[in-house]
Chains A and B, each alone.
Chain A
């Protein structure tokens, strides 16, 4: 695909590598976090070497994701500014979910839905990092009063649930929209794909051809 004239670069190698660092750490965080959230998920601690290791590893994996996610945030921040066309796109979101794209306004590199996902992820990550520091018993929790720790425990659980739901949606969107995962795996997408899903970006990249 690399030498194919019909493809356009969508993500650089460093963007892809960093995205997958975030993705892998997120999966590990979700599994270990759920294990400590509900007894039904406690057996997931076996993937991490038992309950104690799960408790030890979770926050350190969190640091890796926080760094990786911050880099991703700074490289995609400007591409995720909401425009009037994105708002219109979001107004037609039911149609695209039903498989009808005729009335959808042209999207830039990211469409309105992707920008909403971006915002939700960033908000959840900020809350998760801040509350996670407060409830990290080994190093930080002793600095905070109990009321703050209790609030942070709730904030961590709620924002993690929203984050997991948003990521599930994000993964599903990648499965549902055929070929979009190629962009994150190999960096390139077909011109036809770009015109279909991100027409404004397609024009910007190719001058309309």
Chain B
């Protein structure tokens, strides 16, 4: 639902300005992976607040449960055991929508208002406008949206836009027992991350850093990584995500160029007709056949 207290910066498949009279500060969720103990309380809180219930799955012999995001699991913990120069490390990443400043899903969506970006930076799906085409899945650089078989609508993390609208933190932040997930203005979160990174560096994580990828204009969900030089260690977190040339072409230049070309073609044909006239059988040939009769 479009919440009146959250003004809109961008709206999918819309070429006119959205209601944007008021400016709200940009918010961000900061996930400090070095503090995460993998308890999955955030998964539970997410399901509880949003009232989603995934099907009971099967044990795959690993801690990941469920194994992937779904229309009912908007966040999942991904567990990686990796060998680094520090020995065996257990890197646990809370996966979910990154709320990109330049969202590939919103750019790809053909249904007006099915995806909106509030001025606070949250990217939200409005399922009542969704047509179920899956273009957002094609456009997302992080492979986040999931299409429901039940209603053919896509679902993903809302960053608890309904809670944020009334001044609360997202449910996962509220519940995190170690304070690995914090929430506030993006500015404050970047400042908070600096302190965490300095601490990690002092403890021997020379490459500790923030994950706020510039290729998508920065994100409103950020990570503090112990190994920011190698995000792929964290269950394939992309190093330099971006909307990509193909989606850029498809949803950028192609739209006005094709529309203009077709309109120009139609006008050209009409002008040809009124300037050159129709192509009729010549009088010469008509006479030839008249004589035959």
Contact = CB atoms under 8 A, between A and B. Distances in A.
Given A97-B272, A165-B265, A176-B278, A157 B250 contact: yes
Interface string B241-278: 00010110110001110110110011001001100111
Interface in A53-83: 54-55
A124 to B, nearest CB: 13
A192 B265 contact: no
A41 B15 CA distance: 12
B231 interface: no
Contacts of B288: 192, 195
Given A99-B277, A137-B134, A150 B250 contact: yes
A116 to B, nearest CB: 15
Interface in A103-133: none
B276 A97 contact: yes
Contact of B15 (A39, A137, A178): A39
A4 B220 CA distance: 76
Given A176-B272, A179-B281, A36 B133 contact: yes
Given A137-B132, A146-B138, A169-B269, A153 B281 contact: no
Contacts of B15: 39-40
B121 interface: no
**Interface residues of B toward A: which range?**
35 or more
B5 interface: no
A52 B255 contact: no
A137 B249 contact: no
Contacts of A3: none
Q: Is the interface of B mostly helix, strand, loop or mixed?
A: helix
B282 A55 contact: no
A195 B152 CA distance: 57
Given A42-B112, A176-B278, A178-B278, A52 B131 contact: yes
A37 interface: yes
A38 B278 contact: no
Contacts of A169: 265, 269
Contact of B281 (A35, A96, A192): A192
Interface string A16-45: 000000000000000000011111111000
A168 B258 contact: no
Given A54-B131, A97-B272, A137-B132, A161 B262 contact: yes
Contact of A135 (B13, B138, B282): B138
A196 B279 CA distance: 10
Contacts of A39: 13-15, 110, 112
Given A154-B254, A192-B281, A192-B289, A99 B276 contact: yes
Contacts of B262: 161, 164-165, 168
Contacts of A55: 131-133
A90 interface: no
Nearest to A199: B285
Interface string A160-203: 01001100110010011111000000000011110111000000
A150 B273 contact: no
Given A52-B131, A168-B262, A178 B110 contact: no
A9 interface: no
Contact of B279 (A99, A138, A151, A165): A99
A190 B266 CA distance: 29
A158 interface: yes
Contacts of B278: 175-178
Given A151-B246, A164-B262, A178-B280, 8 more contacts: A36-B131, A146-B138, A147-B246, A157-B254, A175-B278, A178-B279, A192-B288, A196-B285
18 contacts: A36-B131, A39-B13, A39-B112, A41-B259, A42-B13, A42-B110, A99-B279, A137-B132, A137-B133, A141-B134, A154-B254, A161-B258, A165-B262, A165-B265, A168-B262, A172-B273, A191-B289, A196-B282
Interface of B: 13-15, 110-112, 129, 131-135, 137-138, 143, 147, 152, 244, 246-247, 249-250, 254-256, 258-259, 261-262, 265-266, 269, 272-273, 276-282, 285-286, 288-289, 292
Question: 9 closest pairs, A vs B, by CB?
Answer: A137-B134, A51-B131, A150-B246, A161-B258, A172-B269, A39-B13, A36-B110, A196-B281, A192-B289
